[in-house]
Each structure stands twice: as C-alpha cells, then as structure tokens.
Homo-oligomer: A and B are copies of this chain.
Amino acid sequence: MPRLVMKFGGTSVADLERIENAARLVQREVERGYHVIVIVSAMSGKTNELVGWVNQTSHFYDAREYDAVVSSGENVTAGLMSLRLQQMGIDARSWQGWQVPVRTTAAHGAARIEEIGTANLDAKFAGEMQVAVVAGFQGLSPENRITTLGRGGSDTTAVAFAAAFGAERCDIYTDVDGIYTTDPRVASKARKLDKIAYEEMLELASLGAKVLQTRSVELAMRYKVRLQVLSSFEDKPGTLVCDEDEIMESNVVSGVAFQRDEAKMTLLAVEDRPGIAAAIFGPLAEAGINVDMIVQNISEEGHTDMTFSCPTDQVARARKALEQAMADGTVAYENLVTDDNVAKVSIVGIGMRSHAGVAQQMFRALANEGVNIKVITTSEIKVSVLIDRKYLELAVQSLHDAFALDKAG
C-alpha cells in the first residue's frame, strides 16, 4: 500500500473543531487506501504561550528546558487527533518524538534530524494498519533529552518522515491554498501554480513567500520528496513542489517575489585590497545584520565602491558596526551612503537557464514604466533588482504582465 504524510499546521488544528476537520481529511486518504502518517503542530497560540512562560521565568534560559516545555504543545495535539480519528472508527495512535524515535543533534532549539527509526511504525503499518499521529517539531538528543527543531520545524519533521518511509507524497495543510506567481494583494492577476520546482520554491521562500520552511524544501529536494502545499479549509488541489523533471511545460519565469523594506548602503572609495570584503562583512555578520545583495564596482586608482542591501530596521546597527571597523583601522572608506527607501523585486524561474534575454526583458519592462534600477544581482534562476520603494507595486504588476504569469505555461 502506498504511504502518505499529511502535516497540519497550527491554524489547521487551532481548536477541537479544526482538529475534527483535519481528521476528516485524514479519513478521506485512509479510505483512498493510503497508509497515513499525520504530523501535527501545536494548537495555534499554544507554543507562544509556552515560550512566553519560559521567557518570563528565566533570562538566560537553558535551551534543554525550553525544549522540554515548548514541545508539550505538539504532544497534546497528537493525542487529541488520535482520539478524534478513533472516534471516527479509524485505528490511530499518537507518537512523541522519543517514542518513534526521531534522533536529532543536541543543538537544542534548532536541532537537526539525524535519523528516524522506522521499525516501530513499520510494525504498526504491517500488522494493525494503524494511522500514526506524530508530534512534529521535536526529537531526541544523543543524551536522551527532548529537542525542538526551531520555528516551523514541523514542516521539516513531515518531509523527513516522508523520506524515511518512502511516502508517495507529503501534503502540507495550511491556511493558504498554494503557491502563487506573486502576492495577490499586490498583483490581482496572481495565479496559483499547479507545480513548482524545488529550486524555484527555495528562491521564492527566501524572498518572502513564507509558506514553507526553507529547510524543509532543501530536505525535500535532497530526498526527492514530492511536497504539496494546500488549504485545510478548502477542498481543492494545492501546489506541488517537485523535481523539475516532473514539470513538463512551464513558463520561463515562475514567479515574482519582492521584499518591501530593504535599505541600500554604499561604502564610497573603499581601499581596494585582498581581504577587504571579509574585513567589511565580518563585522556586519557579527552584528547580526542580514546582508542580502552585494555588489562591488570596478576598481579605480586602488579604490572601489561597495554596495549591499539589508532590512531597513538593521541600518542603524550596520552603520555602527562599520564606523567601529573604521575606528579600529580594519576598514578604510571615504563615505557611507544610506538609502532606506528601496525595495527588492526578483523574477524566479528554472526556465531562465535555457532562455537567453530574460534579464533584458525584465529591464525593458521596468524601463517602459519609468522605474529606475539601482542595483542588479543575478543567479542561475533568479534576477533581482533594487528600486525605489514607491514603484514596488507598479514593478511587480508590470513584470507579472511582461512574463504572462497569469497564464499557465
């Protein structure tokens, strides 16, 4: 019998009524003939309540105790979901991370799954045809302490189970109905994608379409786990995140992503010498600045200009770190210019690899609307530009039109 992993996020199991709704979705797949593994999150709000208590109790908290407290939310949902399924006449039982066991590293609060023991669940699939309801987000450290995988970790749990048990698919039930070509609130013509390649999803996720945890997509790509993102509240297919081989026809560009609150910082006339990039970005990393795009202009007379972008609310800290580096003598520059009224817009698509002129097409579309480009970076399947923030909506809409994203490829 084929196996299926079904993962329900916090809003999908927010109360007893929603747990019942989710259980009916499980029932449907059982009736279709799947061996089902259900991965559940905590009822929404519960994890925040527990985290709040930990923070109020201890300033410098022991991450092992944090994990012991916070993991309890998923255990409650797993038990309740099992009971609900039993009430529907479906054999089911809950599994906590240590019972499976889900073996992880000892990095409490952000542990990585190392191995999932399959013998216990396999026995239930073979003998009793039982639905396994697994508490997501948690595992067991080498010292037999409870670990958690970090926020959004239940997605990662789901993909890891799908890989370990050779599931046909891993369905991620959430409160959105799939992945869109862009944010529908910005471009009304945004269209839900039937399929998207892992690589594209990774670029879109890190660019702001916060539907799936990046790590879970990386894991799915590595183990070729077919991931479906779909709504637990609407009965329709979602978006399948899969290998590009499975996507027969597709647009050259799959989506337009954006980041509204970016800032551009430029160091003018930096002394150009080997190691200068490390000297600049080392202090920024230490200060916890999320540097995104980096552009270095050609050198003139031993000096160059270095531009980078970061979130607007980190500008003050970034400036402080760079001025300190200047004072320490590790970096020399003439001036530091900040523009915190920019936004980033990116087009993403695996089709770019085999199509020339995609970047040019993007630049022309923006030029036609009078949008000035301030910084450009490119990767194999993505072109990103920084523009004035006031043009963000205009840029997204015009790119969506230019690449005909409202029509299926």
15 A-B residue pairs with CB within 8 Å: A16-B53, A20-B57, A54-B83, A57-B80, A57-B84, A58-B86, A61-B86, A64-B93, A65-B82, A68-B94, A69-B75, A69-B79, A72-B73, A72-B76, A98-B98
Enumerate chain B residues within 8 angstroms of A185, measured Cβ to Cβ: none
Number of copies of this kind of chain in the complex: 2
Q: Is the CB of B75 within 8 A of A61?
A: no
A16-B53, A16-B56, A57-B83 known, 16 other contacts, Cβ within 8 Å:
A20-B57, A50-B76, A54-B83, A57-B87, A58-B87, A60-B87, A66-B83, A68-B75, A68-B78, A68-B96, A69-B79, A69-B83, A72-B76, A96-B146, A98-B98, A99-B145
Q: Is the CB of A93 within 8 A of B65?
A: yes
Q: How many residues belonging to A are interface residues under a CB distance threshold of 8 Å? A: 38
Interface set of A (CB-CB < 8 Å, partner B): 16, 19-20, 50, 53-54, 56-62, 64-66, 68-69, 72-73, 75-76, 78-80, 82-84, 86-87, 93-94, 96, 98-99, 144-146
Closest chain B residue, CB of each to CB of A73? B72
Expressed in whole angstroms, the minimum distance between the Cβ of A143 and any Cβ of chain B is 10
With A16-B56, A68-B94: A62-B82 Cβ-Cβ less than 8 Å: yes
Q: Is the CB of B58 within 8 A of A83?
A: yes
The distance in angstroms between the C-alpha atoms of A260 and B147, with both chains bound, is 51
Enumerate chain B residues within 8 angstroms of A99, measured Cβ to Cβ: 144-145
The distance in angstroms between the C-alpha atoms of A145 and B79, with both chains bound, is 12
Expressed in whole angstroms, the minimum distance between the Cβ of A93 and any Cβ of chain B is 7
Enumerate chain B residues within 8 angstroms of A73, measured Cβ to Cβ: 72
Closest chain B residue, CB of each to CB of A99? B144
Enumerate chain B residues within 8 angstroms of A69, measured Cβ to Cβ: 75-76, 79-80, 83
